[in-house]
Structure 1
Amino acid sequence: MNALQQRIVAFDVALYYLCFGTCRLPVMPTISRLISKLGDGGFYLVSGLLVAWLDIENGIDFLLAGLFVFAIELPVYMFLKQAIRRDRPCDRFADVIPQITPSDKFSLPSGHAAAAFVFASLLSYYYPALMLPAYTLASLIALARVFLGVHYPTDILAGAALGLTSSVIGLNLIDLL
């Protein structure tokens, strides 16, 4: 690892401990688990189906766009996880006790952050008035993963970037069709 990479990792670990340290409040693990649950995947499918059912004008387009964008994001996410193979903080540091059981072994990028930012992007595209709450919730889902001890801050930044990039590509491809 070169000097720049070492500095980035050191900064990331320091930032992680700063975030994880705030999680020591008794209520934070419970709140973080609840918020993180929203990013597990089922929430997006149920929400997409509900929007398709309730919004006659744009609901079906929203659901289909979501399926399309997630079909772009998910394989890239899985490839990156296996290619990078970064240990989770709870696996690397003895003093980090995860507040949940991670869904897989590696941390970079955060799949919860990627999915949350895909969903926020889709909501913002189809329902611009929901942009602020959508991105706020996506950010909270991503941060909850750090507070739970299963991701570094750069994992969630990479996940957010993946989600946003997948959304831009997917929505632009849909517009071309």
Structure 2
Amino acid sequence: MYKVSEMLRGGDISTFLWINQANRSSFYDWILPKITQLGGAASSIICALALLLNKSDFWHQAGVNMALSLSLSHLIVQILKRFVRRRRPYQVIDGVFTGLKLYKDASFPSGHSTAAFCMATVLSAAVPSYLLIFYSIALIVALSRVYLGMHYPSDIVMGAGIGIITTLWVI
């Protein structure tokens, strides 16, 4: 079991380095710090509130689903962060590219990825014809967290899973 664990850990680090360092570009350095905020607290709360305040019963229900799934999923994220206590990549690996805002809490799982995939799942359930767009945006948000040195790939995969599963349960 130890060998399997070490193999997964090594793959996580090599994939992290490939995303964080091998794909550097001035365009990504400029755009990804902006895109990453789509999974932040302000964006997810504004999105849920906009839907909740909508007079249409359909969109209001989507807002209820989003608010409940974001609340429940972030409770799970916070419990896991306190239990696992994984240090962020920039705190462990030398030479990691980071954005301007450095978070100090635990890395596992990614809260931004969780929120992005919660929102994508709710919106995809409401408007299935835009599913590819919603999940593409969520994936870019998640990958931006690795590019900016805040998370390992396994952090964003777990965050995405929590976001999707929690939302499907709520819906």
- State the TM-score, normalized to the length of structure 1: 0.89
- Conserved in 2, the CA contact under 8 Å of 1:113 and 1:156? yes
1:52 Cα deviation (Å)?
A: 4.1
- Structure 1 CA distance for aligned equivalents of residues 111 and 147 of structure 2: 15
Q: Is the 8 A contact 1:23 1:29 kept in 2?
A: no
Structure 2 unaligned regions, length at least 5: none
Q: Summarize deviations over 1:124-150 as a string: whole Å, max 9, x none.
A: 111212211110100000000011011
Task: Identify the range of structure 1 (1-10 vs 151-160) with the bigger mean alpha-carbon deviation.
Answer: 1-10
Match of 2:157?
157
Q: Aligned-pair distance for 1:21? A: 1.6
Partner SS state of residue 98, structure 1:
coil
Which 4+ residue blocks in structure 1 deviate beyond 3 angstroms?
51-55
C-alpha distance 22-54 of structure 1, shift in aligned 2 (>3 A): farther
Kindly provide the CA deviation profile for residues 69-109 of structure 1, in whole angstroms up to 9, marking residues without a partner as x: 12210111000011111111100012114223233421111
* Residue equivalent to 2:27: 27
Say whether residues 1:83 and 2:83 are aligned partners: yes
**Counterparts of residues 7-156 of structure 1 (less than 5 Å):** 7-54=7-54, 56-156=56-156
How big is the alpha-carbon RMSD for the aligned residues of Structure 1 and Structure 2? Answer: 1.6
CA distance in 2 between counterparts of 1:85 and 1:45 reads 26
150-159 or 94-103, which moves further after superposition?
94-103
Give the C-alpha shift of residue 53 in structure 1. Answer: 4.5
TM-score by length of 2: 0.92
Identity of counterpart residues, as a percentage?
A: 26
Q: Between Structure 1 and Structure 2, how many residues are aligned?
A: 171
Moved more, 52-61 or 85-94: 52-61
